[in-house]
């Protein structure tokens, strides 16, 4: 049975999550995967995508504060507790997660398309790899397709290591600059998390 991290918004805060007692809970969920909802909806509005990502950010903040790096964040591992539109989001499948020791990891793991470039380059990496995956998920929510895609896995990995992606027309024409900024990386190919103050422990590797 999968381990779930239950997250619940608190009144008066933007999707702050009550996750302090749910890390080891085992509960039945009925809302399905975020992946399935993406298939059903096609794309999320910026507002709806923000509500989802704020929950994920807060849950990952809790994990990181407790020394846990998930290392395989993707829509298939984000579950809705109930079928309701505004259901809580739960992070699941901790099979590749790791307790952070020195702050640096080296095992190559993750899912193609969501894995960070430093992992593919077989370089030491930090908990910021989770932030990269959240950036990929954000991109998919807003446009309905992944930022990195190629016919072969080797070409896909090269594109990820280069950090090359585009905001293609017409899919991104109506997305605001702030929406695009939520997905953009800096020149060193790391997720810009500055706008997510609640995730202020999610720094670039080596920073």
Question: What pLDDT does residue 182 have?
Answer: 65
Q: Please determine, for residue 2, whether its predicted confidence score (pLDDT) is greater than 60.
A: no
Instruction: Give the pLDDT of residue 187.
Output: 29
pLDDT, residue 177, reads 84
pLDDT at 6 over 70: no
pTM of the model: 0.76
Q: Domain 4-188 falls in which CATH fold?
A: Transferase(Phosphotransferase); domain 1 (1.10.510)
184 Cβ partners below 8 Å, 6+ apart?
Answer: 192
For the chain, the straight-line distance linking the first and the last C-alpha, in angstroms and rounded, comes to 37
> Which residues are the active-site residues?
72
pLDDT category at 199 given cuts 50, 70, 90 is: very low
Mean of the per-residue pLDDT values of the chain? 77
Q: What is the DSSP string of 90-114?
A: EEE--TT-EE-SSS-B----S-TTT
At residue 112, the pLDDT reads 93
Residues 154, 104, 94, 116, Cα dihedral to 10° = -30
- 13-22, 56-65, 196-205 — most confident range: 56-65
pLDDT of residue 86: 82
How buried is 8 (Cβ within 10 angstroms: 0-12 exposed, 13-18 middle, 19+ buried)? middle
Contact call for residues 27 and 4 (beta carbons, < 8 A): yes
Is pLDDT of 71 > 70?
yes
d(CA 20, CA 17): 8
CA atoms within 13 A on the CB side of 118: 22
pLDDT in tens, 27-49: 567 788 998 889 888 888 899 99
pLDDT digits (tens, 9 = 90+) for 139-198: 999 999 999 988 899 999 999 999 888 888 898 988 888 877 766 543 233 444 433 433
For the residues 54-68, what does the mean pLDDT come to?
92
Q: In this structure, are residues 6 and 25 in contact, taking their beta carbons and an 8 Å threshold? A: yes
Average pLDDT of the segment spanning 79-89: 87
């Amino acid at each position: 049975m999968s381990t779930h991290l239950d997250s619940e918004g608190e009144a008066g805060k933007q999707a702050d999550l009550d996750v302090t007692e749910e890390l080891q809970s085992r509960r039945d969920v009925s809302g399905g995967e975020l992946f399935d909802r993406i298939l059903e909806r096609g794309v999320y509005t910026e507002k709806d995508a923000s509500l989802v990502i704020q929950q994920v950010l807060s849950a990952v903040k809790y994990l990181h504060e407790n020394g846990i790096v998930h290392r395989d964040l993707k829509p298939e591992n984000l579950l809705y507790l109930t079928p309701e539109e505004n259901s809580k989001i739960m992070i699941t499948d901790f099979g590749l997660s790791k307790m952070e020791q020195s702050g640096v990891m080296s095992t190559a793991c993750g899912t193609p398309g969501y894995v960070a470039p430093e992992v593919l380059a077989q370089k030491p990496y930090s908990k910021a790899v989770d932030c990269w995956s959240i950036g990929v998920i954000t991109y998919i929510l807003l446009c309905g397709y992944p930022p990195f895609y190629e016919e072969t896995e080797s070409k896909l990995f090269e594109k990820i290591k280069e950090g090359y992606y585009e905001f293609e027309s017409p899919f991104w024409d109506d997305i605001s600059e702030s929406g695009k900024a939520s997905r953009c990386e800096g020149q060193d190919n790391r997720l810009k998390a500055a706008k997510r103050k609640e995730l202020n422990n999610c720094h670039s590797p080596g920073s």
